[in-house]
Amino acid sequence: MSADDTPLWLFADQLGPAVHGGEHAHREIVLVEARSALAKRRYHRRKLHLVLSALRHADRELGDRATLIQADSYTDALEQFQRPVLVHQPTSHAAERFVHRLKKQGMVAGILPTPTFALSRKDFQTWAGERTRFRMEDFYRDQRRRFGVLMNGSEPAGNRWNYDEDNREPPPKKQTTLDVPAPYKPREDDIDDQVRHDLDRMNLDTVGADGPRLFAVTPAEAKRALSRFIDHRLPHFGRYEDAIMSQDWAMAHSLLSVPLNLGLLHPLEAVDKAERAYRDGKAPLAATEGFIRQILGWREYMWHLYWHFGPDYTDKNALDARTPLPDWWADLDADAVTARCLHDALKGVHDRGWTHHIQRLMVLGSHALQRGYRPDELTDWFATAYVDGFGWVMPTNVVGMSQHADGGLLATKPYTSGGAYINKMSDHCGDCAYDPKKRLGHDACPFTAGYWAFTHRHRDRLARNMRTRRAVSAMDRLSDLDAVLEQESARDRF
């Protein structure tokens, strides 16, 4: 067999035409369901359903090109296949080490560059150079220039790079939902039914609730989900992208993270379609720029920093956070939580395996930061409990952005707040048992009181940071600080 005819092995997050089409369209495809991988960690039930459904749909759609092998492990599957395979760079350090071991054993004939991101890992290394501090805005502007996105010649469209200030409105008053067209919802088929039956039979230790599939698992579904978002939801997206509404879990978000992270949809395809909507006058610039910044900016930035920071990054714990994740958190037991914002966010993870970015950062992440939950355990939880969580996605998002556990390598300050922020940006606080204005007493908001306890615990570090020193000054003026600290040290309900 010539090297050019070597079969191509696809991991479950490499299932799109960018991986198996183009120059590889002639190759035989190998797909593997490894039972040991499904049972290795405590995944959300919906996540396992999505991954298996995506693999089996790929097998069906690739037809005679594909061979789907069900085995105890990836190694067993490749031994059954009995021929060396090509593979694209996998999407985690552990998987990369594994693939290199297989290459030494002769099971993998070659390792190709990752085709599912806009910027190559080599080009990012050139951009990173000798930097010791990283700013997403610098990277994002370079991405815009490099790929010619939202550019008018050498200048950004609208003469502004970033419309974040226009995309921070609180939820509209006297509404329970944004009242925008619903997101794309796929239709389940016989493959989904069989996956659900097989998962029942496997009796794996999972978390969360099963339910009808909410996310695309084929390239065709991904295209329909993208079109639905661009045509009907993008115009409403930017303005309220940082808001939270208890009866509108999706709001105007794209819900494209799953097909993007499964490799079904290429980021530049989503970016190009959004830009066309803006150029055609069908979407405002602020909304378009906000969406493009999420994909061409933040998502790509997280991917490349994952590799740049290396496999030991998740060991970082600059704030010495040592509290294990509580059982109610790990079990997604929202009923154990009183605070509306935290209850609703945890329930969203339980019911769907998904919440939008502000619930991740400013509710779940902020709570964990204030209470000193271990960043390594939290990273693993986000990666397994969220349907769009994969090995590369969560370390930089959690360790760097959310928990500031890298000491400021990625973000310039810890991201946390008192209840006032949640009260402004959500509709949760009105009927909550806790009062966002109170930091002391039986109805003291755990976020408001927790904010001051966190600030006190890290006062020296925060006082040295220009972006947080005012919080330390404000804390020093609190007349009841000692009582707040005593209250929070004993708090066991949230």
- Three-state DSSP state, 178: coil
d(Cα 207, Cα 223) in Å, to the nearest integer? 29
pLDDT band at 2 (very low <50, low <70, confident <90, very high): very low
Neighbouring residues of 82: CB distance < 8 A, sequence distance ≥ 6 = none
Asked whether the CA dihedral 481, 483, 488, 490 is positive or negative, the reply is: positive
Q: Look at strands 29-34 and 66-71 and give their pairing.
A: parallel
Encode pLDDT of 379-394 as tens digits.
999 999 999 999 999 9
Encode pLDDT of 208-260 as tens digits.
999 999 999 999 999 999 999 999 999 999 999 999 999 999 999 999 999 99
| Ordered alpha helix ranges (H), 354-491 | 357-358, 366-371, 375-385, 394-395, 419-425, 446-457, 459-463, 469-476, 481-489
Q: Domains in the chain, ordered, with CATH?
A: 8-112 (3.40.50.620), 121-188+210-308 (1.25.40.80), 315-490 (1.10.579.10)
Is-contact 147 296, C-beta < 8 A?
A: yes
Q: What is the pLDDT of residue 74?
A: 97
The pTM of the full predicted model, rounded to 2 decimals, is 0.96
pLDDT band at 173 (very low <50, low <70, confident <90, very high): very high
| Ordered alpha helix ranges (H), 148-228 | 190-202, 219-228
Q: How many CB atoms lie within 10 A of CB 409?
A: 18
d(Cα 216, Cα 370) in Å, to the nearest integer? 35
Neighbouring residues of 286: CB distance < 8 A, sequence distance ≥ 6 = 163, 166, 167, 238, 239
d(Cα 408, Cα 397) in Å, to the nearest integer? 13
Q: Is the pLDDT of residue 419 over 50?
A: yes
Encode pLDDT of 130-146 as tens digits.
988 889 999 999 999 99
Q: How many CB atoms lie within 10 A of CB 443?
A: 12
Specify the length of the chain in residues. Answer: 494
**Which whole number is the average pLDDT over 256-281?**
98
State percent of the chain over pLDDT 90: 97
Neighbouring residues of 404: CB distance < 8 A, sequence distance ≥ 6 = 318, 319, 369, 411, 413, 414, 415
Largest CA distance in the chain: 79
Neighbouring residues of 294: CB distance < 8 A, sequence distance ≥ 6 = 357
Find, among 260, 243, 261, the residue nearest to 180 by Cα. 243
What token pair was written down for 154? 């050498």
d(Cα 2, Cα 335) in Å, to the nearest integer? 59
* φ, ψ dihedrals at 323, nearest 5°: -75, 125
Question: CB-based burial of residue 451 (10 Å sphere; 0-12 exposed, 13-18 middle, 19+ buried)?
Answer: buried
Q: What is the pLDDT of residue 132?
A: 83
Amino acid at 135: R
Q: Look at strands 8-10 and 29-34 and give their pairing.
A: parallel
